[in-house]
Structure 1
Amino acid sequence: MLDLVDIPGGLLFLRDDRVGRRWHVDVPAFRLGRYPLTRDGLPLTGVSWYGAVALCNQLSEEAGLPVAYAIDGELVEWDAASPGYRLPTEAEWQHACTAGTPAYRYGPLDKIAWYAENSGGTVQPVGRREPNAWGLHDMLGNVWEWCWDQYDPETYGPYRIFRGGGFDDPARSVGSTVRRRSHPTFSIEDLGLRLARSISN
């Protein structure tokens, strides 16, 4: 599904409890998929970060949009001014997840998310749990979602961030501030992506 929602800008506070760092980001308005990217109604999974950015470019080309990424082997550069499909930044993802509030979750977990206690141990069709205040479904649970950002380049090199929690995760791992990381070649059955687009001024 390529249904994108207009997300208003706002100020967001992020933290990395591992190193005790806190910072804020002024998030400009952008667009974000109402659902994770799907195949036959289920979230598309088993896609690496490299595969995700390549898929974003493919979808941009199919839609007649300029691509957002220049890809040269393992080197990926993002043209932030491009209106093409892309991955959200970590700050954009969290801002959209909480719908502009500092809440850890946007509702009771069993009503908004598929996780270990209610998923039956498998990925579920999108849109069957309650959305957040901005109309976004499955921001928490079902599948983790790749973000653009590197986790900590000085310590982890090219590792990229993913957010949101998955269908096999315990409740404690399904929240707006939970951050995970892996190598950009990593792929697994509970990790997918959600499309974003920049809004041109």
Structure 2
Amino acid sequence: MEGKNKKTKVFKWAAVLMLAAMMIVGCKQAQGNNSKEEKYEVTVSAGSNGKVTVAPELPTDKKVAKGQELTITATANTGYVVDKWTVTPADALQSGGTAGSDTAMVKVSAATTVNVTFKPVGGTPSTPPSGDVGSFEDTGDGFIKISPPAAGITGKDPTHTLPGMEEYWKGVFREERKVTLSPYKLGKTEVPYKLWKEVYDWAVKAENGYRFANAGVKGKDGSGTEEEPVTMVSWRDCIVWCNAYTHKTNNAESECVYRKSATDTTVLKNANDTTAWDAAYADMSKKGYRLPTEAEWEYAARWQGSDSTNADKYGEVWLTKLNSVSGAKGNWEDAEKTGEVAWYSGNADSKTHPVGIKKANALGLHDMSGNVWEWCFDRYEDNPRANDAAYTSGGFVVDPQGGAAGVFRVFRGGSWYHRAKDCVVGSRSGSAPGYGSVNVGFRLACRP
């Protein structure tokens, strides 16, 4: 009996020890399950003429654990080399990432963005694509994807008569200026009031935190329809709205384009914070909604590909003459040709009209001339080449964004209130970023 009792006691102690071990393991597992691993979003992008890969590959949600090291490899297209790496925050870069380097090692400790651009070998493409006039595609979501020619747009002085002698009639593709643009998407129409109001109402809710200087109105004075372009919105309002639309669409702020600065990535939300907004930084690596740059706007307004009708040749591509409205086959003095594609003072009956009614231009874009002026992101400079040094790479001005300083922001295209000559594709104008008018609206752009 004593031996049996001893065995029973041994079994009991063994059971107790096993239960204790199981409890310890269970506690550790529970602790592991309750601890949340820190992760941060990583965005990696490349300019035109090359691509990037990441090892290890980024997950679908782009969230990477804190402390993870990533190797980013840039591969340039034939005739191009790596030009510049941009890593934010800067201390994430561990090695590489210099001009000409094909790789960069980054360590994730915060939300991180990496962008690499490419430039032609020796300053010009080794074999410029012959006959490359660019291309476009209707993406079925209200946008046109625009792919400018890889060899760029070679500027030239006009040989035809302009509406005036001033420099502001001559557009941005000037003599001795070679501009290359990355592929981009542009809205087929100006933003109608209906879409503006839907996003505006969402944005101003307390939990979303956006603030506008102006609420916007339907068309000319609020008496129009919801399909007419929104007006009475300032440049600052448009920037706020673009961020809000991006936030609403993605259910997150991660792809918002407009930030406080290149180093302070705070998303801008308040149009009344004039100091922050007037220094707004556009993170072009993001896929969110934004205003087009002036060069993007003009290229889209003028593109004709290989069609030389009423056009001049800029390198390989034919662009509508500076003295005509977008999509017209005659100059501003031809009322019939102008009226086919534009609402202006001669045919608009002193008011705005629903977007998309007039005939589209060669890219399938409506109202690029007339109806309402359209805000662009750029600071206005009388000489569009004044700040080219900031964007020049390999002899090309790459994706320029206008002046380095100055108060005014650009708007283009003319309006229902203006004469036909004011609506021509070469006419440049602008105003203070807080300005709103019954004849000024905007059109959306974004990365493909």
**Which one is further off, 101-110 or 157-166?**
101-110
Residue 4 of structure 1: aligned partner = 143
**Is the CA contact 1:140–1:166 (under 8 Å) kept in the aligned structure 2?**
yes
The answer to whether the aligner puts 1:121 opposite 2:350 as a matched pair is yes
Residue 165 of structure 1: aligned partner = 414
The answer to whether the aligner puts 1:198 opposite 2:447 as a matched pair is yes
Residue 27 of structure 1: aligned partner = 181
**Which one is further off, 184-193 or 96-105?**
96-105
What pairs up with 1:167-186 in 2 under 5 angstroms?
167-186=416-435
Residue 62 of structure 1: aligned partner = 248
Residue 17 of structure 1: aligned partner = 167
Report the Cα offset of residue 14 of structure 1: 7.9
The answer to whether the aligner puts 1:146 opposite 2:369 as a matched pair is no
Residue 98 of structure 1: aligned partner = 302
- The letter for the 2-side match of 1:68 is V
Unaligned runs of 5+ in 1: none
**Which one is further off, 177-186 or 103-112?**
103-112
Higher relative contact order (CA 8 A, sep 6+): 1
Q: For the structure 1 residues 14 and 114, does the alpha-carbon distance in structure 2 shift closer, same or farther, using more than 3 Å as the test? A: farther
The answer to whether the aligner puts 1:50 opposite 2:236 as a matched pair is yes
Determine helix, strand or coil for the equivalent of 2:145.
strand
**Is the CA contact 2:232–2:441 (under 8 Å) kept in the aligned structure 1?**
yes
Distance 2:288 2:167 in 1: 33
| Residue-by-residue CA offset, 1:60-85 (whole Å, 9 max, x unaligned) | 00110610001335331100111000
**Is the CA contact 2:236–2:277 (under 8 Å) kept in the aligned structure 1?**
no
Report the Cα offset of residue 41 of structure 1: 0.5
Residue 87 of structure 1: aligned partner = 291
Unaligned runs of 5+ in 2: 1-140, 158-165, 194-225, 260-267, 269-275, 305-317, 329-336, 382-402
Determine helix, strand or coil for the equivalent of 2:320.
coil
- The letter for the 1-side match of 2:233 is V
- The letter for the 1-side match of 2:429 is R
Q: TM-score, normalised by structure 1?
A: 0.90
**Is the CA contact 2:278–2:433 (under 8 Å) kept in the aligned structure 1?**
no
Among candidates 325, 328, 338, match of residue 109 of structure 1: 338
Q: For the structure 1 residues 109 and 37, does the alpha-carbon distance in structure 2 shift closer, same or farther, using more than 3 Å as the test? A: same
**Is the CA contact 1:53–1:69 (under 8 Å) kept in the aligned structure 2?**
yes
Distance 1:120 1:137 in 2: 19
| Residue-by-residue CA offset, 1:18-37 (whole Å, 9 max, x unaligned) | 5x993332112100000000
Deviating 4+ runs (over 6 angstroms):
none
Among candidates 219, 227, 238, match of residue 41 of structure 1: 227
Determine helix, strand or coil for the equivalent of 1:7.
strand
Q: TM-score, normalised by structure 2?
A: 0.42
Distance 1:149 1:175 in 2: 19
Cα RMSD over matched residues? 2.2
- The letter for the 2-side match of 1:33 is G
Determine helix, strand or coil for the equivalent of 1:42.
coil
CA radius of gyration, larger in: 2
Aligned identity (percent) is 32
| Residue-by-residue CA offset, 1:117-171 (whole Å, 9 max, x unaligned) | 00000011111100011110000000000001111257x8121110001001111
Distance 1:173 1:99 in 2: 19
**Is the CA contact 1:32–1:88 (under 8 Å) kept in the aligned structure 2?**
yes
| Residue-by-residue CA offset, 1:151-199 (whole Å, 9 max, x unaligned) | 1257x81211100010011111111111001110011011001000023
Residue 101 of structure 2: aligned partner = none
Distance 2:375 2:291 in 1: 7
Distance 1:46 1:14 in 2: 35
Distance 1:102 1:95 in 2: 8
Determine helix, strand or coil for the equivalent of 1:130.
coil
